[in-house]
Amino acid sequence: MTNGFLPISKEDMNALGIEQLDFVYVIGDAYVDHPSFGHAIISRVLDANGYSVGIISQPDWKDKDSINILGEPRLGFLVMGGNMDSMVNHYSVSKKRRSVDAFTPGGVMGKRPDYATTVYCNLIRQTYKTKPIIIGGIEASLRRLAHYDYWSNKVKRSILLDSGADLLLYGMGERSILEVANALDSGIDIKDITYVEGSVYKTKELHDGYEYIMLPDYDTIKEDKPSYAKSFYTQYTNTDPFTSKTLVEPYSNGVYVVQNTPAKPLSTAEMDRVYSYPYMRTYHPSYEELGGVAAIEEVKFSLVSNRGCFGGCSFCALTFHQGRIIQTRSHESIIEEAKKIIWDKDFKGYIHDVGGPTANFRHTSCEKQLEHGVCKNKQCLFPKPCQNLKVDHKDYLSLLKKLRELPNVKKVFIRSGIRFDYLVADKNDEFFEEMVKNHISGQLKVAPEHVSDNVLSKMGKPSNDVYKKFIDKYKALNKKLGMNQFVVPYLMSSHPGSTMKDAIILAEYLRDLGYMPEQVQDFYPTPSTISTCMYYTGLDPRTMEKVYVPINPHEKAMQRALIQYRNPKNYDLVHEALVLAHREDLIGFDKKCLIRPRKDSPKKQNGPISKNVDKNKKTNVAKKKKTIRNVHKRKG
């Protein structure tokens, strides 16, 4: 097992006495040897099991020699686009280029290509025609079968085909990569490694003897949106390692892309082992003079407690990537890691987070999951908590108390998401009270996302009544404890299902709350989520019912502006939205009004409203001006 950073150059290889590496790992991020980075975990798993791994970070994709700096690996290349999908990393939801990349030294943007996994594989193939290439990470995982790609606005093929890779490992990958490595080491050809759980391979022959579900062919789903929606939902209901079937997606050239069933969840002992490896817990020292890697700051003094999420939010890709079964580390493992960070020279006494995708999930949602898997067509919390749901925060609270007692620790915060409906469902208030008293840094961030039940139902979120119940309880506990802490709600605009009427309901809620968020997240159609499927097809894949989708950029701007209606820069957009929705009653001087009338007419906006905003709201420019003049007369 290698102590210190893994090799990034021939000099490093020589210092370690390595003549040829077993694997060369090509990554789109800077090399950060910390267990919050996928490339660090996979490389350490291989290293701990006797395989030598070298890292090529952010190679120059315009120079084929950049892929050769570590020589030819004995067993194969591993490729990962980064901790984020490269397109999400590069572009905002408005498809504008971002200016900073937190996963690159100095925050420099442009050090990786668009569709990084595919580009890196094609770069490798220019030199190594037959050497095995195995792809993984979030970009590969969520693009493993045909998928809607927001940035090109089309249905793209499986990334396995476009990249030219031999094998794709989806999900977290620790089990899968080791099984593949052992197979390659034993002399099995990469084309014959078709049996690994959590893998996707391509073939021209389907063998008898195993059950599979034949999905619609690629040519059909790229042209027919209902077929795409049905195919997607079949995939969505086959993400559980205990209940899923093998999926086969045909292509016109006689190739089949075959997705094996997901890898089994890690046991607590296996999770502990993964986090026990000798990570350096920071970025490679070669980045110091470039300004370091900002992404480490978010996780340096945080602790991963769990994986997976049974929350089932429609816009979240966790079901496709980590799955719905919760996997946890032991208290001992987490405390052992905490003992490493509390003596760090930069530690100020604050553990920033103890959690995961959802902080307060520390066990499976019900007893049957570890043997029978999760329900195919039912969610644990939506639309209401399942009668079999096990709601218990005792283990999580016990962990937090142990961490609070460690030397040098002033506070232990919870900053990853708290699932408030799960918290409300707990009849024992002990954890809720302890959280308010000891684990909030002045304000608690929660994610109601919206307040309109119409939108929440599409999001897979609980009704607004549940959020109100949570807020009332939160305020009551603050009062009881003599504290004055706030809630910062995460809100999303323009999610499928959100009409202008729904956006105004949200604006009115914020008005009554006396709160205007500094930032608003527009819905971002990332690969392989139910919400993205709704965005592309206009259909809810769960029911195949039509869904209203705000697609036009100008309409989306209006919905976003309504959430920040107090910002003077948004006045014209808010005014236009209210007129279009026939809600001129909200333009005036009454305390219930969102904006006041102006003598001057709103400036002309760029681009027409989408035709599907509302048939009753299709108005030509002349009629709009007349309406605005009438509003001024009534309210001015």
- Mean pLDDT score, 72-81: 98
Asked if 587 and 578 count as a contact pair (C-beta separation under 8 A), the reply is yes
Is residue 601 over pLDDT 60? no
Please identify, among 180, 202, 224, the residue that sits at the C-terminal boundary of a domain.
Answer: 202
- Mean pLDDT score, 409-434: 94
Residue 442's pLDDT band (cuts 50, 70, 90): confident
Number of structural domains, the chain?
2
Q: Which residues contact 446 (CB under 8 A, 6 or more apart)?
A: 417, 418, 420, 470, 487, 488, 489, 490
Q: Return the pLDDT at 128.
A: 97
Residue 613's pLDDT band (cuts 50, 70, 90): very low
Report how far residue 435's alpha carbon sits from residue 419's, in angstroms, rounded to the nearest whole number.
13
Residue 600's pLDDT band (cuts 50, 70, 90): low
Is residue 610 over pLDDT 50? no
How do 167-169 and 154-156 pair as beta strands? unpaired
- Whose tokens are 């890292």? That residue is 55
- Mean pLDDT score, 268-291: 97
Q: Return the pLDDT at 519.
A: 77
Q: Return the pLDDT at 616.
A: 40
Q: Which residues pair with 200 in a beta bridge?
A: 168, 259
Neighbours of 155 (CB within 10 A): 18
Mean pLDDT over the full length of the chain: 92
Report how far residue 339's alpha carbon sits from residue 583's, in angstroms, rounded to the nearest whole number.
58
What CATH number is associated with residue 151? Answer: 3.40.50.2300
* Same domain membership, residue 189 and residue 305: no
Tell me if 184 is assigned to some domain: yes
Please identify, among 441, 462, 494, the residue that sits at the C-terminal boundary of a domain.
Answer: 441
Task: Say which DSSP state 384 is in.
Answer: S
CA gyration radius for the chain?
Answer: 26
Q: Return the pLDDT at 416.
A: 84
Q: Return the pLDDT at 515.
A: 85
> 331-341 and 394-404 helices cross at what angle (nearest 10)?
30
Q: Which domain holds residue 413?
A: 301-441
Is residue 285 over pLDDT 60? yes
Q: What is the pLDDT of residues 11-59, one digit of tens each?
A: 999 999 999 999 999 999 999 999 999 999 999 999 999 999 999 999 9
Phi/psi at 81 (nearest 5 deg)?
-70, -25
Is residue 310 over pLDDT 70? yes
Is residue 130 over pLDDT 90? yes
- Mean pLDDT score, 122-130: 96
* Same domain membership, residue 314 and residue 178: no
Considering the chain, what percentage of its residues have pLDDT values greater than 70? 94
Q: Return the pLDDT at 376.
A: 87
Neighbours of 208 (CB within 10 A): 4
Q: What is the pLDDT of residues 188-239, one digit of tens each?
A: 999 999 999 999 999 999 987 788 999 999 999 999 999 999 999 999 999 9
* Same domain membership, residue 318 and residue 182: no
Q: Return the pLDDT at 56.
A: 98
What CATH number is associated with residue 364? Answer: 3.30.750.210
Tell me if 557 is assigned to some domain: no
**Two structure tokens written together for 23:** 């694997």
Is residue 628 over pLDDT 50? no
Is residue 521 over pLDDT 60? yes
Is residue 147 over pLDDT 60? yes
Q: Which residues contact 297 (CB under 8 A, 6 or more apart)?
A: none
Residue 602's pLDDT band (cuts 50, 70, 90): low
* Same domain membership, residue 150 and residue 18: yes
Please identify, among 174, 202, 230, the residue that sits at the C-terminal boundary of a domain.
Answer: 202
**Two structure tokens written together for 491:** 């809100």
